[in-house]
Amino acid sequence: MNDTPGFTPVEPTPHVPSSPATWAPPAAIPDPVGQWPTPPRRGLRGIAIAGIAIGAVVLVGSVAAAGVALAMTAATVAEEATEATAQQEESSPVRLEMLERGEKGSPVALEPLVCPGDVCFDDGAFRRLTPGSGDLREIGLTEQIGAYGEYPTSTEQFEFVNARDWWTEQENTPDDCFVTAFERPVALDREGGTASPEDPIELLAEYGDESGYSYFAQSVQLFPTSADAASHMSRFDTLLSGCTSYFFEDQYGSVKTSVRPAPAIPVAGSVAAIGWTEHSVYGRYYAFDIQRGNVVVRTVLSTDGVVTEADYRRFVETVADELAGLDTLG
Q: What is the mean pLDDT of residues 175-191?
A: 93
Query: How far apart are alpha carbons 44 and 212 in whole angstroms?
Result: 9
Query: How far apart are alpha carbons 199 and 119 in whole angstroms?
Result: 14
Q: What is the mean pLDDT of residues 215-222?
A: 95
**The pLDDT of residue 101:** 82
The pLDDT of residue 71 is above 50: no
Average pLDDT over the chain, rounded to an integer = 76
Q: Which CA distances in Å does 225 have to 140, 188, 252, 295?
A: 36, 18, 46, 9
Query: How far apart are alpha carbons 282 and 290 in whole angstroms?
Result: 27
Beta bridge partners of 284: 279, 303
Express each pLDDT in 142-177 by its tens digit: 999 999 999 999 999 899 999 999 999 888 999 999
The pLDDT of residue 128 is above 50: yes
The pLDDT of residue 96 is above 90: no
* pTM of the predicted structure, to 2 decimals: 0.73
Q: Spell out a b/e string for 143-169, using b for 16 or more CB atoms within 10 Å of the CB, else e.
A: bebbbbeebeebbbbbbbbbbbbbbee
Name, in order, each residue with C-beta under 8 angstroms of 76's C-beta and a sequence gap of 6 or more: 2
Are the C-beta atoms of residues 42 and 215 closer than 8 Å to each other?
A: no
Domains of the chain, start order: 116-324 (3.40.1000)
